[in-house]
Amino acid sequence: MSATISAIGIYVPDTKIDNSYFEKILDTNDTWIRQRTGIINRYFAKEDEFTSDLCIKAVKNLIENNDADVSNVDFIIVATSTPDYTMPSVASQVQASFNISKAGCMDISAACAGFVYGIILAKGLIASGANKKVLIIGAETLSKVINLEDRTSCILFGDGAGAVIVEASAENHIFQSITETEGILGQNLYLSNLPAAINGQKITGDNKIHQNGRAVFKWAVSTLVEKIRELSELNERKLDKVDWLIPHSANLRILEAVCETLDFPIEKCLESIRNYGNTSAASIPIAWFNGLKSGKVKPDDIIIFAGFGGGLTSASICIQN
């Protein structure tokens, strides 16, 4: 069975945090943050606002924008590294909030690649004939797990959510995908509340994000370049036939380096890093939604989504708008 992405909505919390917020509490400045990351603003959730709240508001936005019906959704996937709790799943909270009967529900943990993993899973569920309409949400409240004493990482992250519906369709708009993981590099990016070990290396169980920025940066650029090339070959579409590239927005310099190496025009690369920071699983749908809203992305445009993050893992897929 063929599938298409039929609706999209997003939500970001009300509180806008510009770089001066960090200037007041850390040895950093607006110039460094803009030059090294591209980030101007990000949004932080309120103390009593959690990932499920952001998911529910993104779904409400999806319903309003597309006049969509979610009552007949038969599977809900939430991609997040910051669930309200380990169980029940955030997806179950969304199901309850919209009273969607008979929906399978699960959360997936694939960090900033989670939204793309969600699309790939939804396509598979529909292709198997098991499901017809899948709601996928990439959502994070990373502000709750940043370490405000670590200036190299806390300035990067923001909160947000993006929701899409993937449904069975006569014409296929979701093409080939590639997933790959280098678990051996896992200790370079982690978030844990247990003092466990990754690859034999003891980690801090403080429920804060820990990141080896330089190592992740290097891995991200080479992985994105390799996977985008592989994906365009797999889909038999030369990169000059791709209308938009939407990689995970982790750092503007990563996107610039990837576009330069691929000889892909940076104007055709959509990002959400400048105005939202790194929103992990939400960054790709936020960039896509804004591209649609501004009128840049047109019906039938060919788009490559390329997610990468903690794992270290990557997932890329080619779709038609």
Q: What does the binding site for ligand ACO look like in residue numbers (CB under 6 A)?
A: 28, 32-33, 36-37, 111-112, 151-152, 155, 189, 213-214, 216-217, 220, 250-251, 254, 278, 280, 309-310
DSSP state of 269: B
For ligand ACO, the closer CB: 289 or 308: 308
DSSP string, 130-195: S-SEEEEEEEEEGGGS--TT-HHHHTTB-EEEEEEEEEEESS--EEEEEEEE-GGGGGGEEE-SS-
For ligand ACO, the closer CB: 35 or 101: 35
**Residues with Cβ within 8 Å of residue 130, at least 6 apart in sequence:** none
Least distance CB 129 / ligand ACO (angstroms): 33
**SS3 state of residue 5:** strand
CA distance 256 to 26: 27
> Which of 87, 113, 110, 103 has its CA nearest to residue 135?
103
Least distance CB 180 / ligand ACO (angstroms): 15
The residue to which tokens 């993006």 are assigned: 162
The answer for 199, left when phi > 0, alpha when psi is -120 to 50, beta otherwise, is left
For ligand ACO, the closer CB: 237 or 274: 274
Least distance CB 291 / ligand ACO (angstroms): 21
**Inter-axis angle of helices 30-37 and 252-262, nearest 10:** 30
Least distance CB 253 / ligand ACO (angstroms): 7
Active site residues: 112, 248, 278
> Which of 190, 172, 144, 165 has its CA nearest to residue 77?
165
For ligand ACO, the closer CB: 214 or 229: 214
For ligand ACO, the closer CB: 178 or 254: 254
Least distance CB 34 / ligand ACO (angstroms): 11
> Which of 47, 1, 12 has its CA nearest to residue 279?
12
Instruction: Supply angle C-alpha 3, 8, 230, rounded to 5.
Output: 55
Least distance CB 258 / ligand ACO (angstroms): 11
**Residues with Cβ within 8 Å of residue 318, at least 6 apart in sequence:** 175, 176, 177, 231, 232, 235, 237, 242, 302, 303, 304
**Inter-axis angle of helices 252-262 and 213-234, nearest 10:** 40
For ligand ACO, the closer CB: 98 or 219: 219
